[in-house]
């Protein structure tokens, strides 16, 4: 009987993962670092739809209120988003 009860027991529900954000505060401004890379990749893919992306690196420059990025080791003047 105990074996049947154990077999019917439901597995413990997984706890939801916490929302994690990284906020950079510079000169009274908040920059959500958690979303900057995703926004930069989205901006890139909106223009370059068919190019494969193997490496995407984002450089945040809060003093310029901008983020620059490289794609597969290559940079460009157009690879910039405003924060």
Q: pLDDT tens digit string along 41-56? A: 999 999 988 889 999 9
On whether residue 7 sits in a domain, the answer given is no
Domain of 33?
A: 14-82
Q: What is the pLDDT of residue 74?
A: 93
Q: What tokens were used for 67?
A: 């983020």
On whether residue 66 sits in a domain, the answer given is yes
Query: pTM (2 decimals)?
Result: 0.70
Torsions phi, psi for 43 (to 5 deg): -65, -40
On whether residue 24 sits in a domain, the answer given is yes
Q: What is the pLDDT of residue 34?
A: 81
Q: How many domains does the chain have?
A: 1
Q: pLDDT tens digit string along 20-73? A: 889 999 999 999 988 999 999 999 999 988 889 999 999 999 999 999 999 999
């Amino acid at each position: 009987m105990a074996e049947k009860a154990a077999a019917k027991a439901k597995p413990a529900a997984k706890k939801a993962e916490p929302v994690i954000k990284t906020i950079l505060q510079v000169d009274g401004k908040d920059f959500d670092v958690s979303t900057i890379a995703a926004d930069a990749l989205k901006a890139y893919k909106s223009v370059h739809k068919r190019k494969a992306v193997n490496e995407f690196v984002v450089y945040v420059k809060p003093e310029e209120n901008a983020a620059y990025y490289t794609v597969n080791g290559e940079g460009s003047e157009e690879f910039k988003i405003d924060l």
